[in-house]
Amino acid sequence: MQGLRLNLLRMLHGEQEYEFFGPPPRAGTVLTVQPRLESVTEKEGKRGGRMRFIAVVEDFSDEDGRLVARGRSTLIETARAPE
């Protein structure tokens, strides 16, 4: 997500979901996560100003490199409120 300049003071957590490929990992299993930016879209906010929707995908692999789970999240950067 390099190069994506976000104002962390205006960030909201919009959505989160997980997909498992087999049974969930057991407690103590060491997982490695590889995040990637899926998309960035904009739309007009209801209170004025534009909002950015940032979709992030995270692949979780076990110690053998097998894909165990995939997470998807949506972050929302709100526009600055009009003065």
Our measurement of the distance from residue 16's CA atom to the centroid of its chain's CA atoms, rounded to an integer in Å, reads 7
**81: pLDDT confidence band, cut at 50, 70 and 90?**
low
- Tell me what percent of the residues of the chain surpass a pLDDT of 70: 93
Contacts of 61 (CB under 8 A, 6+ apart): 31, 32, 33, 34, 67, 68
**Would the pTM count as exceeding 0.85?**
no
Span 14-33, average pLDDT:
94
Domain 11-77, what fold? Thiol Ester Dehydrase; Chain A (3.10.129)
CB-CB contact of 52 with 21 (8 Å): no
Our measurement of the distance from residue 33's CA atom to the centroid of its chain's CA atoms, rounded to an integer in Å, reads 12
pLDDT at 31 over 70: yes
Burial class (CB in 10 A: 0-12, 13-18, 19+), 77: buried
